[in-house]
Structure 1
Amino acid sequence: MKDSTAADSWARRTFAPLRDRRFRLYWTGLSVSQLGNAVSAIALTLGIIGATGSAADLGIVLGAAALAELSMTLIGGVWADRLPRQKIMMAADALRAAAQVIVAIELFSGHPDIAHIAVASALAGGALGVYLPAASGIVPATVDREHLQQANALASLARRSAFLLGPVIGTTLVVTVGAGWALLFDALTFAVNLTLLSLLRIPHISRERSTFVSDLIQGWRAVSSRTWLWANLIVYCIWNLMRCFYFVVGPMVIISGHHGEMGWATIVQGGAIGALAGALIGLNVRPRRPLVVSNLANSLGALPLIMIAVGAPVLVIAVSAGLMSLVLGLGSIWSTTLQQHIPSSEISRVFSYDWMVSVALIPLGMAAAGPVAEVIGERLSLLGAGAAILVASLGVLAVRQVRELAPHPETSVREDAVVGGH
């Protein structure tokens, strides 16, 4: 009886956000659209390679989407702090649905025009850059403060589950009915998310009018005035930059060695499982010192780089890749920390700077990892990248504000929203 009561209590606490209709609508739409994203990601790759046989064509399409997303993120942050976030997300989903329909039509033709696909992918990437800052600020408006960590963890769980199932579904669709249908499936999921978002009732917080540039400056001040925030952004920037060696040099070492393509596939799957496990752990973790826990987890990102460098068995590397991806699943801790400590009127701009700084050097890292490995050697480059992750993740704990930041400030995002007329 006690075990049953304890299990019921755990379930009520873990899934409490889903009892709120607002979050339930948001989470259901997110789950559906994330599955579509995961399906279309593999389908687009297979479709372009199958149609043109050119890795360069695929690079053009993916690069166009990434560049557009990056260029629109700061703009999206300003818009999301000015306008109703819900409507911004709906408009972005409409654009993404239209873009996927265009790509599907091109793939159906049998002779896709890469320029057309690149433009459509840039449209989808730009819309994503606008969508993400708005989404970062909408979660606190759908749940009570005490359920914010679980809400972010459930959102992370939806994303990680999608990227575990999506490649299987996407590959099956490509093999059976063609890549175009997989892209249409993604467009349909955007339409579903748009419909569910339209049912949300979230009042908009009005604020004084200001210029676009002044909004950008104020957003940067919100970041730079908080030592714990900008210090962690430096860590994330280094973490993502060094992880490029894992994606570029890691496969070269594994595949060209005795493990082959199946060895790398096993490692990738281990990473996907780890990310899902991190999301599950995040459902019930409420650390007293969230940034201490977060950065200790970040340090695990060094493990697969080091394991590949020292020639560890594939299964050991797969487990270490799972531990590295555990960090991604535990991203709900960071999201919750931002939402608790940043006023609602600034959260989307702060998120956009967070995203920009964190991923800004990834293109450089992807381009430089191979040449660096050729100069100093593959294994030494992997060891150096792993060491950089360890130094950054553990070194930031020397900053007092990082160590001592508590999870529940006197004024949360939700309370600030109420004061502002929410």
Structure 2
Amino acid sequence: MNDSTSATRSGWLRGPLRPFRFGQYRLLAASVTLSLFGAGGWLIALVWQVIALGGGPGAVSMVSAASAGGMLATALLGGVMADRIPQLRILRAVAVVRTLAVGVVAALAVAGWLEVWHLVLVALAIGLGSGFTYPAYSALLPSILPGRDLMAANGVEGMLRPMIMQAAGPAVASAVIAAWSPGAALAVVCVCEAAGVALLLAMRPVPLRQEHPAGPEHPVRSAVTDLRDGFVYMVRTPWLLATLLFASVLILLIMGPIDVLVPFVIKDRAGGGPGDHAIVMAAFGIGGAVGSLAMASFRMPRRYLTVMNLFWGLGCAPLVFVGFATHVAQIAVAVFVVGICFSAPMVIWGTLLQRRVPPHMLGRVSSLDFFVSLVFMPVSMALAGPVSAAVGSGTTFLAAGLIPAVIAVLAIVLAKMPKDELAHPLDDRGDDEDGSAGTDDEPENEAVHPVEPLPVCT
């Protein structure tokens, strides 16, 4: 690429678009977009395919539980593998398996041979693969982008998830189901997945940033040792441990009320129905997209640990109004703000892991983060109903809105985050202001952004 082309490209690839200067990232982002689109379509097609087979809520729950159980089973192992195997290979393998699995289901559906147990097996296979995807993607990103662009890339991914997976994918799948059949929608999902595989195959090989040393130890014992080392690193790293503990409580407090209790608040207090529930959930998703994209437009805050945790803690406050709202519009505005405040610091969090966790540990630490979400989300949903029945929905939302702020402050103070973030600045104020340092050529893996080892508790 000549200098004029590079200058032209860098002239508009600014803000959250900065990472698109790099061809490797463009291919990866396009693949992720297609995968998210397929995932959103799969969720809708799955439900209606079960219904078409004569199944009810129990059958849908069984299929969904198989997917969630698969993810939970491989989440921690996925982190170990992401630190041992080039992450692009993992993403390719998982994408190929997912494409074949959806293709088989689509073919059986179109032929009229599909049964519910087929869907259970395929959902389990997809869930098992998903446990490997997140840590591999998180560990791959710093290998193809310079450190100053990671926050923008995480913001783009945070924006794509609600817009593509929760809106565009389900919308297209619903239209295909209405026009033809759930089997046709599954075929569309398969085509999207196959296109995503092609994009991953078009990427150049990306080696591990730090090769895993070979040794005589048995592979299983070695994997267990790696996993143990990941837990030890977490426990000995104050900001990481405190944030993960806080995130666990946060998910436990807010996800159940949002997913389980909001529909009843809409029905019983606001007099709304399913359409109003869809509007409220869309507001939450749009808020998340806005928050992610907005945060991607800024540099890493100087007080990144403090800002991130306070954003999460104080951002839950609008849930207080949800428990006492009497109009759908009030609920929608409240969850829109919560969506912004929940997703914006996620951009900081993902970037923080990629820049401060040593490369050889990033997969395992990312998997621990993923595991926390998987474990506490269903627990929160299971507890929301009984707790609301015992103390009332208003009190439940009051606790969900106020307790996170208290825990956020405790996490910041006890982990001495203000001192830590000043000792390890990530604001990149020494980088080129115009963001034009990059070209279309990918950065070298080792020279992109050196990672400082963190001090540990003694």
TM-score relative to the length of structure 1? 0.90
Please report the RMSD computed on the Cα atoms of aligned residues, expressed in angstroms.
2.5
| Match in the other structure for 1:4 | none
Alpha-carbon distance between aligned partners in 2 of 1:413 and 1:252, rounded to the nearest angstrom: 53
Alpha-carbon distance between aligned partners in 2 of 1:305 and 1:47, rounded to the nearest angstrom: 35
Counterpart residue identity of residue 216, structure 1 = L
The alpha carbon displacement at 1:164 in A equals: 2.6
Alpha-carbon distance between aligned partners in 2 of 1:188 and 1:113, rounded to the nearest angstrom: 22
- The match for 2:124 among 118, 122, 125 is 122
- Which structure 1 segments of 5+ residues have no match? 1-7
- Asked if 1 retains the 8 angstrom alpha-carbon contact of 2:354 and 2:362, the reply is yes
164-173 or 270-279, which moves further after superposition? 164-173
- The match for 2:146 among 144, 147, 151 is 144
Equivalent position SS for 1:56: helix
Alpha-carbon distance between aligned partners in 2 of 1:369 and 1:15, rounded to the nearest angstrom: 39
| Match in the other structure for 2:292 | 279
Change (3 A) 1:334 1:160: same
| Match in the other structure for 2:251 | 240
- Asked if 1 retains the 8 angstrom alpha-carbon contact of 2:53 and 2:116, the reply is no
134-143 or 275-284, which moves further after superposition? 275-284
The alpha carbon displacement at 1:48 in A equals: 1.8
RCO higher in structure (CA 8 A, sep ≥6): 2
| Match in the other structure for 1:184 | 187
1:250 partnered with 2:262: yes
Q: 1:62-81 counterparts in 2 under 5 A?
A: 62-81=64-83
Cα deviation per residue 1:254-307 (whole Å; 9 max; x = unaligned)? Answer: 123412223222211111110110121022122111222222221255245312
Alpha-carbon distance between aligned partners in 2 of 1:170 and 1:135, rounded to the nearest angstrom: 26
- The match for 1:331 among 346, 354, 369 is 346
Higher helix share: 1
- Which structure 2 segments of 5+ residues have no match? 1-9, 429-445, 454-458
| Match in the other structure for 1:408 | 426
- Asked if 1 retains the 8 angstrom alpha-carbon contact of 2:31 and 2:196, the reply is yes
| Match in the other structure for 1:298 | 312
How high is the sequence identity, in percent, across the aligned residues?
Answer: 27
Alpha-carbon distance between aligned partners in 2 of 1:261 and 1:169, rounded to the nearest angstrom: 19
Cα deviation per residue 1:221-250 (whole Å; 9 max; x = unaligned)? Answer: 221111111111111111211221221122
Aligned residues: 411
| Match in the other structure for 1:213 | 224
The alpha carbon displacement at 1:116 in A equals: 1.6
Change (3 A) 1:14 1:273: closer
162-171 or 134-143, which moves further after superposition? 162-171
Alpha-carbon distance between aligned partners in 1 of 2:350 and 2:146, rounded to the nearest angstrom: 15
The alpha carbon displacement at 1:124 in A equals: 0.3
Cα deviation per residue 1:166-209 (whole Å; 9 max; x = unaligned)? Answer: 22112111111222222222222222222222222212342213
Change (3 A) 1:417 1:303: closer
The alpha carbon displacement at 1:329 in A equals: 4.8
1:230 partnered with 2:241: yes
Counterpart residue identity of residue 249, structure 2 = I
Change (3 A) 1:77 1:305: same
- Asked if 1 retains the 8 angstrom alpha-carbon contact of 2:355 and 2:449, the reply is no
Alpha-carbon distance between aligned partners in 2 of 1:283 and 1:377, rounded to the nearest angstrom: 38
Q: 1:1-400 counterparts in 2 under 5 A?
A: 11-108=13-110, 112-162=114-164, 163-201=166-204, 202-204=206-208, 205-209=210-214, 211-242=222-253, 243-257=255-269, 258-285=271-298, 286-326=300-340, 327-400=342-415
- Asked if 2 retains the 8 angstrom alpha-carbon contact of 1:344 and 1:416, the reply is no
112-121 or 337-346, which moves further after superposition? 112-121
Alpha-carbon distance between aligned partners in 1 of 2:66 and 2:322, rounded to the nearest angstrom: 31
- Asked if 1 retains the 8 angstrom alpha-carbon contact of 2:44 and 2:174, the reply is yes
Alpha-carbon distance between aligned partners in 1 of 2:447 and 2:19, rounded to the nearest angstrom: 16
The alpha carbon displacement at 1:350 in A equals: 0.5
Cα deviation per residue 1:142-180 (whole Å; 9 max; x = unaligned)? Answer: 111221211222222222320232221121111112222
Equivalent position SS for 2:213: coil
Cα deviation per residue 1:111-139 (whole Å; 9 max; x = unaligned)? Answer: 74222211110000100101111111011
